[in-house]
Chain A
Amino acid sequence: MRAAITILTLAAFASVPLWLRDPYLLNALITTGIFMIAAMSLNLLLGFTGQLSLGHIAFFGIGAYVSALTSLGFDIGLPGGFRLVHEPWPPIVGFVLAILVAGLCGYFVGLLSFRVRGAYFVIVTISFAEVVRLVALNWVELTQGPLALTNIPSITIGLPGLGELTLRTKFHNYYLVLAVAAVAYLLISRLVHSHFGRAMRGLMENETLAVSVGIDVTRTLTLAAVISAAIAGAAGSLYAHYIRIIDPEVFAFINTVTMVIMVISGGKGSLAGPVVGGLIFGLLPVMLRPIMAPEAQWIAYGGVLIVILFVLPRGIVPSLAQRFAKRKRKAAVVAVTPVAFSERAKEPA
C-alpha cells in the first residue's frame, strides 16, 4: 500500500514536464525540489533526533560553493608566498566533492555543537552559518565575495550509448532534481527504519533512557549530522549548477527558515512531511506573486508559520494521518453497531 503510493507519487512527479509547458512554473518546481531535498535532510535531524539545527543552510551553501569552485577552478595565495591553483574539473566531480565536503563539515560541526542542547544548540548552529556567510563574503580571492561566482557550468553526465549529455535545459534539470530527491528519500527512509533510526528516535524520546540502554549518543547524533549535511550539500550543488550563479546571500538565514517551515508544516518526523510542506511553501510565493507585493508575501509567510504552529503543531501529514485513522475507526464502529443492534433486537423474538 505504502510502496504503491510512493511509486504513484513518483510517477506523477515524473510526468509533470511532459504536460507542463510554462517555463516559469517549471523553474519554480525545480527550485522547490532542490529546497525540498534540503528540507528532507533537515528533517533527519529535526524530526528524528529532535535537534533543531538553524544553521542548515551552511551545508547547502558549502555544497554550492565547493561544487562551483571545483568546476570553475581557482587561484589563491597561501601564507608563505605559495599559490594554490586549481584547474577546472567536470561538474559531476564537483557534485561528489560537495557531498563529501559538506558531510565532513557536518562531522566537525556536530562534534562541537552536540555538546550543548536545546536553545544553545540552536544558537551555535546559527552562529556557524553566519560565520561561514561572512567568510564567503570576505574571502574575495576565493569566492569573489559579493561579486558572486558566475558562469558555473551545467552538470554533464555520460550516458551509456548516448554519449555525453549536458543538463542545461529546465526539462533535464527537473529530472536530475527528481532523481536526486528520490535517492535522498529512499536513503532517509532506509536509515530511519534501520537499527540506527531506532537509536535516533530513542534519543529524541528520552535521552537519559537511551543512554542507559547503551545507545552511544554522540556517535548517533554525529552520524545523523554527517548524513544530513551531505544531503544538504548535494542539494546545494544542484542549486549552483542549475542557477549557475551564487553569491554569499545563499547563506541567508531566511533560507534556513524556509527549510524549517517546509519541515514543520509538512510534519517533522514524517518521511512525506517535507515533500508536502515543500510543495506548499515552495509554490505559495508563486501563487501569491500576482496578488501581493513581495513584502506582503513575507508577512503572509511569517503569519502562516505562526498559524500552522497554533493549529497543526504536529504538521499536516501526521495530523491528516491521525484524522484518517480516526475516521476509519469510526466507520468501523458505525458498520458494526447496526448489526449488533439488529442481532440484539432479534434475540427476544
Chain B
Amino acid sequence: MSEFLQHLINMLVLGGTYALLGIGLTLIFGIMNVVNFTHGVLYTFGAYIMFIVVQQLGLNFFLALPVAVVAGWLLGAVIELTLLRPLRGSDIDTTMLVMIGAWIAMQSATLWIWGGVAKSVATPFPEAPLVLGPVSVSWLRLFVLAAAALLIVVTYLLINRTKLGCAMRATFQDQDTASLMGVNVDLIYTSTFAIGSSLAAAAGALLGPVYVIFPQMGDLAAVKAFAIVILGGLGNITGAVIGGFILALAEELGAGYISSGYRDAMGFLIIIAVLIFKPTGLFARSERVG
C-alpha cells in the first residue's frame, strides 16, 4: 500500500510538468493546426537556460525559471515568424516536415554547443526529503509541483479571463469569423506559438534539475506531450491537465508493476489505444479536425 501511495505522490509531481507540456502543445495544435515537432526542443532549451543561469552565470535558482519562460517565449515567436508564417495556408504535412527540419537542426545545435555529456543543476533545496508517514518526497519535487500548478493556473486565467485569451478561443472555433470580428489572426498565431513554447521551456526548466540535462531529453517529452494532447482532446486545456496526470499515473504504475524498461512505452500505447478506440479524446468538447 505504501508503495502505491509513493507512486501516487510521484505521479502528482510528474503530472504537473506533463500538464504544462500538454497545455502548450494543445494550444498550438488546436489553434494553429500545426504538429509542433519543435516542442521537445523548446523543453530541452528551457532546461539548458536553467543550466546557463544557475551553473554558468552563478545566478539565483529561482530567477532561472522566469528567464527560461521569457527565453522560450522569444524563441517560439522567432520560429513562428520565420518558419510558420510564410507557410500559412500550406498543407499540414508540409508544416510538419518543416518543423521536423527545425527540430533536427536545433537539437544538433544544442549538441554542438554544449556537447553530449549530461549536465546537472545544483539546487538550493535540502538533500533530505520530506517524510510524510509511509511516503517521502524531495523538496525540489514539491517546488516543481507548486511552480507547475502556478503556471497552469496563470495559463488558465490567461485563456479564459483576458482579451487575448478570448481572441485565441475565437480563432480556435472559427478562424475566418474571428478574423471578420476584428481579431488579428496573425498576431494570435504568433502569441499562441510563443505561449506554448514558453510553457514547454518552463516544463524543461522545472524537470531539468530533477533529472539530468542532455540534448535529446526533449524527444520523449515531445511524444509524451502528443500523448497528452490526444488523450485530453484537441485544444482542450482542462483535458490536457487531466491527460498529463493520467499519463504520469500510467507511467508510474507501468514502471512500478510491469517493468521499468517499458515506462516510456506507456505514452505510445496510450496514443495508439485512444486513437483506435476513442479518437476524439477522452474529454472532447469540439469536433476534431483532420
Chain A interface (Cβ < 8 Å from any Cβ of B)? 52, 112-113, 115-120, 122-124, 126-128, 130-131, 134-135, 137-138, 253-254, 257, 260, 264, 293, 295-299, 301-306, 309-310, 313
Contact = CB atoms under 8 A, between A and B. Distances in A.
Nearest to A117: B290
Interface stretch (B56-64, B99-107, B154-162): B99-107
A122 B268 contact: no
Nearest to B276: A112
Nearest to B100: A257
B259 interface: yes
B112 A134 contact: no
Interface of B: 29, 33, 35, 83, 86-87, 90, 92-94, 96-98, 100-109, 111-112, 219, 223, 226-227, 230, 259, 261-262, 264-265, 267-269, 271-272, 275-276, 279, 288-290
Contacts of B97: 260, 264, 305, 309
B272 A302 contact: no
B268 A130 contact: yes
Given A123-B226, A302-B100, 18 more contacts: A52-B93, A112-B276, A115-B275, A118-B289, A120-B290, A123-B230, A126-B226, A134-B261, A134-B268, A253-B219, A257-B100, A298-B108, A299-B104, A302-B105, A302-B106, A302-B108, A304-B101, A309-B97
28 contacts: A119-B29, A119-B35, A119-B290, A120-B230, A120-B288, A120-B290, A124-B276, A127-B223, A127-B268, A127-B272, A128-B268, A130-B264, A131-B268, A134-B261, A134-B264, A135-B265, A138-B262, A254-B104, A264-B97, A295-B109, A297-B108, A298-B108, A301-B105, A302-B103, A305-B101, A305-B104, A306-B98, A310-B87
A51 to B, nearest CB: 10
B259 to A, nearest CB: 7
A136 B214 CA distance: 23
A293 B112 contact: yes
B290 A309 contact: no
A295 B290 contact: no
B104 A298 contact: yes
Interface centre among B83, B262, B268 (most CB of A within 10 A): B268
Nearest to A131: B268
Contacts of B272: 112, 124, 127-128, 131
B271 A124 contact: yes
B29 to A, nearest CB: 7
A52 B100 contact: no
